[in-house]
Amino acid sequence: MKTAIVTGAARGIGAATAQRLAADGFAVAVVDLDQAASDHVAEGISRAGGQARGFSADVSDAASVDAAVDLIAETLGAPQVLVNNAGVLRDNLLFKMSDSDWDTVVSVHLRGSFLMTRAAQQHMVKAGWGRIVNLSSTSALGNRGQANYSAAKAGLQGFTKTLAVELGPLGITANAVAPGFIQTDMTRTTAERMGLTFDQLIEHQVALIPAKRAGVPEDIAAAVSFFARDESSFVNGQVLYVAGGPHG
Ligand code: NAP
């Protein structure tokens, strides 16, 4: 049984992805800031018949990341799949965006994905097989109030393509999933910031989406599941928009 790490897996897209990869037959390391929240998701997976364990780590902190990946390798198995999903928002128009709004978002999404990938790739290289999936966003194409987030999500696309080039010869693929509007706590926070109820934001977004519905975490988990499979080995360095239409 191969081991998969999913970061930010205590809720939302990460939790759905952890559940999906467990159903696909991976032993899943559920990684999030809070140990109890990670354990809660892992216990749910175990109850459903899958194999999972909860781990706590701050993906933006190198020591925390290295310790967590070592512990995962010792207790669950050497990771061969990594899903860089942990994320935060600190939305603001550029003229109001603080240094810390910028640094926090870039640290968690970009630095976090770099640190996790650097720590996990050694196990994939040793095995001669690996799958890295990074969570980008339609915001990479530009989104009002998200200079920090769109820069990080566009940066992740370049990061993904470079990983594909460097690690491809070693049996490792790297791809990105770029979700559109997905119903999670993250988009619920966006509604609050905009002074809307969550239902109002959903209605507004659905009007713009060709598929005429909001996305759910399982939509993204299904795309990640494809990239994690053995049969996707010739798909490398791609960005898949999962947004109910050609773009956000
Ligand atoms: P979410 O519900 O806010 O969940 C994000 C998770 O990441 C939370 O459990 C959070 O923990 C964790 N996290 C935050 N900082 C972390 C850190 N430093 N180390 C470890 N874990 C950390 O978000 P989501 O909507 O599921 O989004 C998941 C990913 O998809 C993100 O990368 C997001 O940018 C991307 N995405 C989402 C959408 C959407 O519409 N929802 C669209 C495009 C892209 P805490 O709860 O403790 O903060």
Q: Is the pLDDT of residue 248 over 60?
A: no
Quickly list DSSP for the chain. Answer: --EEEEETTTSHHHHHHHHHHHHTT-EEEEEES-HHHHHHHHHHHHHTT-EEEEEE--TT-HHHHHHHHHHHHHHT--EEEEEE-------B-GGG--HHHHHHHHIIIIIHHHHHHHHHHHHHHHHT-EEEEEE--GGGG--TTBHHHHHHHHHHHHHHHHHHHHHGGGTEEEEEEEE-SB-SHHHHHHHHHHT--HHHHHHHHHHH-TTSS-B-HHHHHHHHHHHHSGGGTT--S-EEEESSSS--
| pLDDT tens per residue, range 206-233 | 999 999 999 999 999 999 999 999 999 9
Quote the pLDDT of residue 243. 98
Beta bridge partners of 84: 134
- Average pLDDT over the chain, rounded to an integer: 98
Q: What does the pLDDT average to over 52-70?
A: 98
Q: Which atom of ligand 1 is nearest to the CA of 15?
A: 26
Quote the pLDDT of residue 113. 99
CA of 169 to the centre of ligand 1 (A): 31
| pLDDT tens per residue, range 117-172 | 999 999 999 999 999 999 999 999 999 999 999 999 999 999 999 999 999 999 99
- pLDDT interval class at 247 (50, 70, 90): confident
Of 40, 244, 247, 29, the closest CA to residue 140 belongs to 247
Quote the pLDDT of residue 49. 98
Q: Is the pLDDT of residue 42 over 60?
A: yes
- pLDDT interval class at 32 (50, 70, 90): very high
Residues with CB under 6 A from ligand 1: 7-8, 10-14, 32-34, 58-60, 85-88, 108, 112, 135, 137, 179, 181-182, 184-187
Quote the pLDDT of residue 128. 98
The protein residue with its alpha carbon nearest to ligand 1, atom 34, reads 87
- pLDDT interval class at 26 (50, 70, 90): very high
Q: By percentage, how much of the chain surpasses pLDDT 70?
A: 100
The protein residue with its alpha carbon nearest to ligand 1, atom 19, reads 58
Quote the pLDDT of residue 156. 99
Sign of CA dihedral 138, 104, 156, 15: negative
Q: What does the pLDDT average to over 45-54?
A: 98
Counting ligand 1 atoms within 8 A of each CB, the residue from 184, 190, 213, 241 with the most, and so the one to mutate, is: 184
Lookup: tokens for 69: 């990946």
Architecture field, domain 3-180+218-241: 3-Layer(aba) Sandwich (3.40)
Active-site residue flag, 149? yes
Catalytic annotation, pick one of 26, 102, 114, 149: 149
Asked if residues 209 and 4 have their Cβ atoms less than 8 Å apart, the reply is: no
Delimit the CATH 3.40.50.720 region(s) of the chain.
3-180+218-241
Sign of CA dihedral 2, 73, 30, 80: negative
Lookup: tokens for 47: 């109850």
Q: Which atom of ligand 1 is nearest to the CA of 220?
A: 30
**pTM (2 decimals)?**
0.98
Q: By percentage, how much of the chain surpasses pLDDT 90?
A: 99
